[in-house]
């Protein structure tokens, strides 16, 4: 399976990192070794001093497809959840300053904790879903899918022009503002509406 991620999909997050607004979705990938499931702890690696949390709605691809038109994209995913796109910001900043790829800053082991997946039938309006991240019981990020620059169907359509989507692939759909550092001993909790779906510690 593949983990496909969208960068710069919320205007307020683009502004907080002082990035340019892209004309098209920004795509990057994480390896399957980035996954953490079942609320297992995240172990802070020794190659970075600055890991940031980035909370995102994730999609589960339910069947194979390529060159998918936006109007048909809803047929290609069957569930949503929450994921954390852990980012080694110091490594990313160093790579960006040299014009180099920043795969290691996003794709290191354990950089993609994900929740259980919830059926789409639980969410009649996919363009109005609230989600929240609490860090040590304090709200740090809150978003709503209505604020996406590229909605789910456009993301799926765009990626499928270049990369064949297969059943079981996961798409991270972008983070709202409020990204920030985590440290050993922190506890992260993620909510979709009022349902807690993530709850794990940094060790």
- Stated as kind and residue range, the H or E segment containing 172 is strand 170-172
Number of domains in the chain: 1
- Per-residue pLDDT at 145: 96
Q: What is the pLDDT along the chain (203 residues), one digit of tens a residue?
A: 999 999 889 877 665 666 676 778 899 999 999 999 999 999 999 999 999 999 999 999 999 999 999 999 999 999 999 999 999 999 999 999 999 999 999 999 999 999 999 999 999 999 999 999 999 999 999 999 999 999 999 999 999 999 999 999 999 999 999 999 999 999 999 999 999 999 999 99
- Domain carrying residue 78: 3-202
Reported pTM? 0.95
DSSP 67: S
Alpha carbon of 165 to those of 3, 4, 37, 61: distances in Å? 10, 10, 21, 7
- Per-residue pLDDT at 11: 74
- Stated as kind and residue range, the H or E segment containing 104 is helix 103-107
- Per-residue pLDDT at 23: 79
Task: Find the CATH number of the domain harbouring 154.
Answer: 3.90.850.10
């Amino acid at each position: 399976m593949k983990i496909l991620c969208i960068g710069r999909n919320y205007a307020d997050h683009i502004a907080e990192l002082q990035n340019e607004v892209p004309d098209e979705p920004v795509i990057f990938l994480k390896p399957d070794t980035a996954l953490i499931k079942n609320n297992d702890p995240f172990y802070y690696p020794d190659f970075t001093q600055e890991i940031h949390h980035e909370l995102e709605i994730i999609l589960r691809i339910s069947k194979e497809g390529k060159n998918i038109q936006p109007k048909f994209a809803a047929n290609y995913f069957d569930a949503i959840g929450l994921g954390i796109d852990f980012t080694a910001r110091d490594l990313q900043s160093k790579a960006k300053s040299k014009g180099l790829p920043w795969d290691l800053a996003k794709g290191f082991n354990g950089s993609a904790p994900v929740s259980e997946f919830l059926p789409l039938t639980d969410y009649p309006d996919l363009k109005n879903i609230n989600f929240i991240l609490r860090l040590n019981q304090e709200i740090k990020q809150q978003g709503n899918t209505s604020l996406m620059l590229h909605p789910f169907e456009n993301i799926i359509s765009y990626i499928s022009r270049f990369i064949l989507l297969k059943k079981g692939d996961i798409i991270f759909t972008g983070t709202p503002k409020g990204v920030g550092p985590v440290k050993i001993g922190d506890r992260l909790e993620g909510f979709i509406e009022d349902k807690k779906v993530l709850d794990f510690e940094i060790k």
